[in-house]
Structure 1
Amino acid sequence: MNQISWTNRSFRTLLKSSIAHKDLFTGKALHALYLKSAVHPSTYLSNHFILLYSKCRRLSLACAAFNLTAYPNVFSFNTLIAALAKEARVSDAHALFDRIPEPDIVSYNTLIFAYADRGDTAPALSLFDEARRSNLAVDGFTLSAAITACSRSIGLIRLLHCFAVSSGLGAYTSVNNSLLTYYSKNGFLPEAKQVFNEMDDGLRDEVSWNSMIVAYGQHREGAKAISLFEEMLKRDVYVDMYTLASVLTALTCLGDLSGGRQFHAKFLKNGHNRNCHVCSGLIDLYSKCGGGVLNCRKLFEENHEPDAILWNTMISGYSQNEEFSEEAIHSFLEMQRAGHRPDDCSFVCVISACSNLSSPSQGKQIHALVIKSDIPSNRVSVNNSLIAMYSKCGNLLDARRVFDRMPEHNTVSLNSMIGGYAQHGRGDDSLLLFQQMLESHLTPSSITFISVLSACAHTGRVLEGKKCFEMMSRLEIEPEAEHYSCMIDLLGRAGNLDEAEKLIETMPFSPGSIGWAALLGACRNHGNMDAAINAAHHFLELVPLNATPYVILSNIYATAGRWQDMAAVRRLMRDRGVRKKPGCSWIEVDRRTHVFVADDASHTMIKEIHEYLEVVLEKIKGAGYVPDLRWALMKEGGDIGLRDIEMRLGHHSEKLAVAFGLMSTREGEPILVLKNLRICGDCHNAFKFISLVTKREITVRDTHRFHCFNAGGCSCGGYW
């Protein structure tokens, strides 16, 4: 290698080969030779070294190569800007862009696409206008990037569509494909169809056809998606594996398992099922549409040489079905043993599985692996999933650490952190981050408002919640059922039951089971029996086999001492074959999960747990705790003795899990318990006193939210 002069043609050929094959070892050797022997620096070669390091995802080396370039030209700047943008360092990319003496249209396109990927509309459009004012030849790529940046604003998309027609850029296939995609994603299928139909047959490419197929699927027009696919075949349009995957995506959007199976049968006849892209689409369809995880695994095993994409799809399929989360982690390890290095998608899926398991220890192990891997520490998608995982595992401190160490945030980052604070009852922090989001010109999404409205509901901020709900229309975000449910919950928890009922009456669609459940819970909390009964009956009409309305209605009657009505509800429940899900709580100690159910006798230490719990309960009684017998009466009726009632209260699954956690961990160490149902009211009260007498922080995550008990109080502030 040392005998090759950097001026030789063979040197340049080797360098180009290193770039093409991402051969970092050879490339670094060539760079060392160039630096050692170069008398007259070559901007051409320097640019290629920047490109090499960028393609090999070695950003620090790319930056160093740029800094060593004696006379950087526009290509030098553009290559490094693209590398910075790819690693989500958009602020650094923009700072470098500002240093270019005369940026060209490629410079603008690269930076506009970077902002578009983040969903940052304002800076992207500002750059678009600046490029036009600079008399640069704005091309189809520029306009496509601008349309992508405006992906959530139908008004701006229409303005850019008009500009495309008036400027002659409407002939660009990339522009039409972008318009087609984002009209569809915003719910404007007729406009998407018009764009597709107006495209010249010779201009339409495979992306156009594929995008239209997916658009039909998103709007639940599966027959048209399949028809369009058949038209492609008739017209001899090139059908690739991405087209087949698009059809599967359309069927997945529809939840059309039957259609997916028919399509699968066609693949079996021509052997396409062994293609990794098609197989990934099939696994995705089966995992999301109830085709069975075992069928997904069978499909996966039929492909004898799965690539990284197929592994990721299998891990994702497992992680989307919570009961298979452990298999997701196992497949992640299998993938590495098979010689595939995890990428962003791999880590996002396996971190999601750790979230499902609520396993802090496994989550931290995966986080450590992320740090050791070649995934850049600033990779946004991975960090976003880590924030969500730590929040779901009750560890807001580490979630915030990940958030604060990110050099760049996108809408999902803010959503994850806002949602984490909302779940933990920290409404002030949620609203503060939301305000920072608005000030930083990041556009809130539909999910953002669900988190913010939930934070307001769980902290009694009625005025702030109303303002946020009104803000949605100004941002052209159409409120969905979940947003209305949050508002019903917000008003109901605050005791504004009449206003909550009025909102239900004026909604543009049925509130659904979630909305009626929110009102039912609020009526129970505020003792409004008539309204509760009305809400329960609406709830039962929608989900007659769901145990929740029966249980809540039964509890309301029990609280009022109406035992005959309570018995009638339970009799109806039995007649319809509806069973209440048994309460179950679990806690992780020393990387092992311990599971408890009410009156559990299966744990090897159950005798010691009962004895420890008796001692603790006596202590908290001395501190003022009085057992709330209503929570046992609701379960058993009014015909059991007080001693039995109190004993059964003491054997609730969450009390057993907390007792085990306290006796199995170091003094002062916080504990986290998870429950599959809503926390019992008596347990909620007891844990306040237990946190006081033991000087421990006890966190319980139920199906609704986190309750952090500390020094005699709870983070929910009574809003639960």
Structure 2
Amino acid sequence: MALSCARGLGAAAADAQFVARLTASAAAGDLLSGAALHAQYAKAHVPPTTFVANHLLLFYSRLALPALARRLFDEMPRPNVFSHNALLAAHAREPSLSLELFARIPDPDVVSYNTLLAAFASAGLAVDALRLLSSMRRGGHAVDGFTISSAVSAVTGTAIASVAQLHAYAVVSGLDSYVSVRNSLMSGYGKGMLLDDAERVFTDMDDCTRNHVSWNCMIAVYGHHGHGRKAMELFQDMARRGFAPDACTLASVLSAFATAKDLVAGTELHCRLMKSKFTRDPHVASGLVDLYAKCSRVQDAWKAFSEVDKPDLVLWNTLISGYSLHEDFSEEALLSFRAMQRAGFCTDDCSFVCVISACSNISSPSQGQQLHGLVIKSDIQGNHISVHNALVTLYSRCGKVVEAKILFDRMTERNTVSYNSIIAGLAQHGHAAEALKLFEPMLNSGYEPTGITFISVLSACAHTGKVDEGWNYFNSMKQKYGIDPCEEHYSCMIDLLARAKKFEEAEALIIKMPFSLSSVGWTSLLGACRTHGNMVLGARAAQEILHLSPSNASAPVMLSNMYASAGKWEEAAKIRKLMRDQGIRKKPGCSWIEVGRRVHVFVANEVSHPRIKEVYRFLEVMSEKMRHAGYVPDIRWALAKDQAAEGEIRLRHHSEKLALAFGLMNTKEGEPILVMKNLRICRDCHNAIKIISAITHREITVRDTHRFHCFSDGSCSCGDYW
């Protein structure tokens, strides 16, 4: 029945009918029907009450559309004393005019604010949530436990200082007595890596006030920190105190084992659960799938999934996420995503983030564009920060950093991850100056940098030789932002110093690293030694790596190549013999290119590809053109004691050149080309592709294990500093 006709039922009845239908649409996740109801209500020219407006806010919030919820909230008129007096005067003149109309003017109340706060919390919009809370307090609205819980949830993981401030406010206002507030504070401190504070909140709670959520929340905190044993002990203590574990409890314990990658403990718990119905529960199965996937037991993850008769959306997403953790199973992630769609599930933001991450692993531009198209067609496009962050990363990894920057610039809402994604993308593509410029706007927008942010920033410095700037950023981590540098940060600094030929400083930093000895720092140093031909230090670095990690194949391979490049064949032969004696196998180098939605893989001196003879002929012709353009083969990178002519042929048949040739043969003139490589590009190929980009007037991007090299008009985005 049309809402305009429903007016005859009375305003309250019409509102109740509207809210019931809107609630049903929200429960079904049906945006179209709910939006149609909203439009129908608006066309009836019936001013909504605050009650109706709050349910509209709740509808858009539950469908994870915070932008629409915020717009609706902002458009709610605020009645004032003038409108009130005008209505009373009108009633005096015409007594038949019902004062009920005044009550129907929507005025945001505590429920309105709390509903929008919850929407911001779900979307991770910390800054918006804090601004709304400030506006709420300025407007004189009473803050309750739900308000604090939502605000804490919104800032969790992004602004730990705000969690402490909200905690202090809750104590002063007496709201910390709410169990829901303490539960949210526990989670906030836990995800902010403040385990002691989370434990303090939990232990300060009276046993009689703790509920199932409290126990589950603290177990989940231990899981977040990878303390599987503590999670298990708390789980047992919970049972002793009369709290029967539910599916959420078991999933949290399994999550703790997954984070700690404690396969033994996780498997033991799985065995204990096999006789119960819990292994068929989608929530528990999600924990099992996550555990096995993170412990590299992907087949066992699939078995845990397959035992559930009716998997829900969360379980599907967990399976896709598990596959996406392993590059070799990225195709399975895409296949599972399609199977989930065929099963009738409506993809949510988590579904898209997981499958986009898998697509990023294989760097498939065509698959990425298809997924982006699905996002645009879906109900969530334009509103989910996490999805857009994943797309920014996807385009960056597919060599389309310009498109990634355009997408970032168009985002109406951003968070720390948004900035981390684009800064990392720009740094990897050689746009270091632009990457570093974004760091200041990020801070000015109120987003606190994370350890991941500094990895990207330090990487940008390393690729441009900005030693002083690198030291400033590195030192500011602890001094200014309270972030303890991890091994990866030290690795970036060692890489920065070694690239700048500051080998003594780099070696000193390795020794000063506040960690137990590992091969990470020495590996970074060895790479730079190979680039600059520092064989004395390179040999020492390789020895340290092999001492700390005997099965590490990269160190002897790199050292052998260093000797071969310098013509020291006896030393190179000794290293290779050592590798054979110790069973260390060199990782075969390969390159691949996507043409016509098919991926073509090439290895050096390829013979198996059906069109390899055409590729070889094409390269012979191209080699002549390159010689005329000034190309001189760098025989040192043939890495074998060959005659010059034989060495040149070896160089010509490097995998990246074969993949590039195939791309040039099978794409339109002027079309950009992307080649992926599983090892670092050699200097001869780098020089050759610069010249090829000028001859063919093509933009050619090569992604190796370190970065993207974007070639155009005879130059590379790395500026030959790599």
* 1:325–1:357 Cα contact (<8 Å) kept: yes
Partner of 1:332: 337
Alignment of 1:497-646 (within 5 A): 497-510=503-516, 512-632=518-638, 634=639, 636=640, 638=641, 640-646=642-648
User: How far, CA to CA, are the matches of 1:573 and 1:42 in structure 2?
Assistant: 77
SS in structure 2 of the partner of residue 674 of structure 1? strand
After superposition, the C-alpha distances for 1:20-58 in whole angstroms (9 at most, x for unaligned) are 321667767766776676688756555545655655567
Moved more, 192-201 or 277-286: 192-201
Higher mean displacement: 224-233 or 503-512: 503-512
The equivalent residue for 2:19 is 16
- Please give the per-residue CA displacement for 1:223-257, whole angstroms capped at 9, x wherever unaligned: 22112111211212142211111011111011011
CA distance in 2, matches of 1:39, 1:388: 45
Measured after TM superposition, the shift of residue 106 of structure 1 is 5.2
* CA displacement, residues 553-602 of structure 1 (integer Å, 9 cap, x when unaligned): 11222233332222221111111101011111111111111110111111
- What pairs with 1:305-384 in structure 2 (closer than 5 Å)? 305-384=310-389
- How many residue pairs were aligned? 689
Deviations along 1:485-529, one digit per CA (max 9) or x if unpaired, are 111111111111111122222222246322111111122222322
CA distance in 2 between counterparts of 1:123 and 1:12 reads: 30
The correspondence for 1:438, drawn from 443, 458, 477, is 443
1:201-237 alpha-carbon deviations (Å, 9 max, x no partner): 1221222212222333344432221121112112121
Alignment RMSD, CA only? 3.0
More deviation, 554-563/589-598: 554-563
Aligned mates of 2:116, 2:66 — CA distance in 1: 17
Alignment of structure 1 residues 397-436 onto 2, 5 Å? 397-436=402-441
Q: Give the Å deviation of 1:533.
A: 1.7
Label 1:387 to 1:52 Cα distance change in 2 as closer, same or farther (>3 A). Answer: closer
Given that 1:66 and 1:72 are in contact with CA atoms closer than 8 Å, whether structure 2 keeps it comes out as: no
Unmatched tracts of structure 1, length 5 or more:
74-99
Structure 1 residues 110 and 494: CA distance shift in structure 2, 3 A: farther
CA contact (8 A) 1:589 1:661 kept: yes
- For 1:430, the aligned partner's letter is A
Matched, 1:275 2:281: yes
Cα gap change, 1:6 to 1:372, in 2 (>3 Å): farther
Decide whether aligned partners of structure 1 residues 43 and 252 sit closer, same or farther in structure 2, where only a CA change above 3 A counts: closer
Q: 1:108 to 1:517 in 2, by over 3 A?
A: same
1:91 corresponding residue in structure 2: none
Instruction: Describe the shift of the 1:395–1:213 C-alpha distance in structure 2 as closer, same or farther (beyond 3 A).
Output: same
Identify which of 399, 418, 429 aligns with 1:394. Answer: 399
Q: Given the superposition, is the C-alpha separation of residues 302 and 404 from structure 1 closer, same or farther in structure 2, using an over 3 Å criterion?
A: same
Residue pair 1:456, 1:465 contacting (<8 A) in 2 also: yes
User: Matched residues in 2 for 1:362 and 1:382: separation?
Assistant: 15
Partner of 1:79: none
1:482 aligns with 2:488: yes
Relative to structure 1, is the Cα distance of residues 702 and 549 closer, same or farther in structure 2, using a 3 angstrom cutoff? same
Return the match for 1:230 from 218, 222, 236.
Answer: 236
Contact persistence 2:79–2:107 (CA under 8 A): no
Closer, same or farther in 2 for the Cα pair 1:65/1:698, shift >3 Å? closer
Pair 441,585 (structure 1): closer, same or farther in 2 beyond 3 Å: same
Structure 1, residues 333-386: CA drift from partner, whole Å, max 9, x if none?
A: 111111111111111111112111111001101111111111232321111111
Q: Match of 1:680, as an amino acid?
A: C
Q: 1:511 to 1:621 in 2, by over 3 A?
A: farther
Per-residue CA deviations over 1:634-656 (Å, capped at 9, x if unaligned) read 3x3x3x32222111111111111
Amino acid at match of 2:176: G
Q: CA deviation at 1:172?
A: 2.4
Which residue of 2 is the match for residue 176 of structure 1?
182
Q: Report deviation, 1:462.
A: 1.4
1:673 counterpart residue number: 675
1:433-460 superposed Cα distances (whole Å, 9 cap, x missing partner): 1122122222111111101110110111
In 2, are the aligned partners of 1:586 and 1:673 still within 8 Å (CA)?
Answer: yes
Does 1:246 find its partner at 2:274?
A: no
* Amino acid in the other structure paired with 2:20: S
Provide the rounded CA distance (Å) in 1 between the counterparts of 2:70 and 2:174: 38
Q: Bigger shift: 540-549 or 191-200?
A: 191-200
- Aligned 8 A contact 2:330 2:362 in 1: yes
The separation in 1 between residues aligned to 2:340 and 2:501, in whole angstroms, is: 53
Q: Residues 369, 226 of structure 1: CA spacing in aligned structure 2 closer, same or farther, 3 A cutoff?
A: same
Give distance in 2, aligned partners of 1:31 and 1:716.
53
The match for 1:191 is 197
- Aligned counterparts of 1:674 and 1:37: Cα–Cα separation in 2: 58
Distance 1:192 1:536, change over 3 A: same
Alpha-carbon distance change, 431 to 63 in structure 1, aligned in 2, over 3 angstroms: closer
Could you say which residue in structure 2 is the equivalent of 1:716?
A: 718
Q: Is the 8 A contact 2:145 2:180 kept in 1?
A: yes
Distance 1:205 1:50, change over 3 A: closer
Percent sequence identity over aligned pairs: 55
For residue 268 of structure 2, give the secondary structure of its aligned residue in structure 1. helix
Counterpart residue type for residue 227 of structure 1: E
Give the conservation status (yes or no) of the 8 Å contact 1:120–1:441: no
Structure 2: which 5+ residue stretches go unaligned?
Answer: 81-104
The one-letter amino acid of 1:431's match is: L
Which amino acid is 1:714 matched to?
Answer: C
Q: Deviations over 1:265-319 (max 9, x none)?
A: 222211111111111111111111122x222222222222111111111111221
- 1:658 maps to what in 2? 660
1:295 alignment partner in structure 2: 300
What letter is aligned with 1:648? R
Tell me, yes or no, if the aligned pair for 1:363 and 1:389 is still in contact at 8 Å.
yes
1:322 Cα deviation (Å)? 1.2
- The residue type equivalent to 2:432 in the other structure is G
Residue of structure 2 in register with 1:683 after alignment: 685
3-state DSSP of counterpart to 1:421: helix
TM-score, normalisation: structure 1: 0.88
Deviates more, 1:331-340 or 1:180-189: 180-189
> Which of the residues 493, 498, 502 maps onto 1:492?
498
Alpha-carbon distance in structure 2 between the residues aligned to 1:384 and 1:167: 37
User: CA 1:235–1:37 in structure 2 vs 1: closer, same or farther (change >3 Å)?
Assistant: same
Match of 1:80 in 2: none
Whether the 8 Å contact between 2:53 and 2:106 is mirrored in structure 1 is no
CA distance in 2, matches of 1:120, 1:159: 17
Deviation at 1:624, TM superposition (A): 1.4
- Secondary structure of 2:718 counterpart: coil
CA distance in 2, matches of 1:625, 1:37: 75
